[in-house]
Amino acid sequence: MRQARLRTPEHCPVGYYHCVSRVVDRRFIFGDIEKDRFVSLMREYEIFCGVQVLTYSVMDNHFHLLLAVPKRPDEPSERPASDTVVQMLHKLSGNHGASTAQQQLAALRQKGDAKGEAAWLARYHARMWDVSAFMKLLKQRFTQWYNRRVGREGTLWEARFKSVLVDGAGRALSAMAAYIDLNPVRAGIVADPKDYRWSGYGEAVAGVGWARQGIQALAQALQGGKDVPEIAALELYRTHLYLEGDERRETVGCDGRLLRGTLQRDAALGVLAAKGRLPLGDYMRCRVRYFCDGAAFGGQEFVESVFLAYRKRFGPRRKDGARRLKGVATDFFSLRDLRVEVFG
């Protein structure tokens, strides 16, 4: 049975989500050109939908996004007006629906149909400030582009995307970001996360403004919300990646050369079987299901608040929501208690 996605509780002004989607049959369809196009579309719809990509990683057969999604403005005056929406549509690649939308708006105004224009505008507002709408648009547009490019038809993605609601306070947000930016290191593609150009950190180091804004937001989270200048943010986040996300990655091979590696899954499972707790750095070096399948991730108070907001979705025997992550030496909690295959 397909699980419904959790929405941000109403009292939260901004919701943070880790979203993952995989190509059907796990096919390796993302080459350099495909990754470039995906990132370009991601930035277009990031603007159109009013969300912020804090960081991301586009791999050969899947992608990870860490999104900040503001709550939809209550006041209509704070939402884009009709003419602004048309302008935004014209800025999208291929002007998807822009001309048709403009003609529809003109016809409604010619008839003096104010209610009709309001309903027209509401349909576009429904695509903004919403993680599902953003993901749907992004995946649809990339599928259309890719199918035309290679002459194929049909779906490109493996079922629905997964999303985990992330605590925006404390270290949970930056821990999730490190997990995402270290994907290319875990895959053995690069030794240093800065060298992977299709990631938030890699783009930020290369000087891309949108990516730097995302890293700056993550550095501010590391500093408890304090403002951090752009360059200082890059330095702080790099330190975070190395000291917390990948602190023991450096080893020496039998020939004396410096090697970069990742903690093997079997070794990690062995530590857990012995009831040992992994340092956060080692945890980040594994593909950990809590980061993709935990439903909500963060501090105990945050996860408990999500549980209470959706109490009706859980059985009567469930008394509380927060479940401590197994095997990690830090105070992170998840809404789901993964009793098997913590690593996978």
Give the range of the structural domain holding residue 109, as residue numbers without chain letter.
Answer: 76-125
Local confidence band at 22 (pLDDT 50, 70, 90 cut-offs): very high
Structure tokens at 105: 């708006």
Angle CA 164–122–101, to nearest 5: 110
CA distance linking residue 340 with residue 344, whole number of Å = 10
Q: Using an 8 Å Cβ cutoff, are 245 and 281 in contact?
A: yes
Q: How far apart are CA 334 and CA 167, in angstroms?
A: 10
Give a yes or no: residue 97 inside a domain: yes
d(CA 102, CA 80): 15
Token output for 168: 């925006």
Outline where DSSP puts E strands in the chain. 14-22, 52-58, 62-70, 162-166, 250-252, 258-260, 296-298, 323-324, 333-334
By DSSP bridging, strand 52-58 and strand 14-22 are: unpaired
For residue 312, count CB atoms less than 10 angstroms from its CB and return exposed for 0-12, middle for 13-18, buried for 19 or more. Answer: exposed
> What is the pLDDT, as a whole number, of residue 344?
59
Task: Identify whether 100 is part of a domain.
Answer: yes
pLDDT tens track for 272-288: 555 566 667 666 666 67
In a domain, 104, yes or no: yes
Residue 229 lies in a domain: no
pLDDT in tens, 204-242: 998 899 999 999 999 998 888 899 999 899 988 988 887
The alpha-carbon radius of gyration of the chain (Å, integer) is 21
Q: What is the pTM assigned to this prediction? A: 0.82
Cα(344)–Cα(334) distance, integer angstroms = 16
Lowest mean pLDDT among 29-38, 42-51, 211-220, 248-257: 248-257
- Asked if 163 contacts 272 with a C-beta cutoff of 8 angstroms, the reply is no
Hey, what are 132's tokens? Answer: 């599902």
Query: Range with the lowest mean pLDDT among 63-72, 162-171, 264-273?
Result: 264-273
Evaluate if residue 16 carries a pLDDT over 70. yes
In a domain, 85, yes or no: yes
Owner of token pair 């003419």: 83
118 part of a folded domain: yes
> Percent of the chain having pLDDT more than 70?
80
Torsion angle defined by CA atoms of residues 216, 137, 145 and 179, in that order, rounded to the nearest 10 degrees: 40
How many folded domains does the chain comprise?
Answer: 1
Tokens 């309903």: give the residue. 119
In three-state secondary structure terms, 73 is: coil
**CA neighbor of 176 nearest in space, from 221, 131, 216:** 221
**Helices and strands in the chain: count of H runs, count of E runs:** 14, 9
pLDDT of residue 278: 65
103 found inside a domain: yes
Pairing mode of beta strands 62-70, 250-252? unpaired
Question: What 8-state DSSP symbol labels residue 249?
Answer: -
Look at residue 341 in the predicted model and tell me its pLDDT.
Answer: 67
- 275 occurs within a structural domain: no
65 DSSP β-pair partners: 19, 56
Return the percentage of the chain with pLDDT > 90, whole number. 41
The token pair that represents 65 in the structure block = 């996004």
Average pLDDT over residues 114-143: 93
Residue 183 C-beta-side C-alpha neighbours within 13 Å: 26
Query: pLDDT higher for 319 or 135?
Result: 135
pLDDT, averaged across the chain:
82
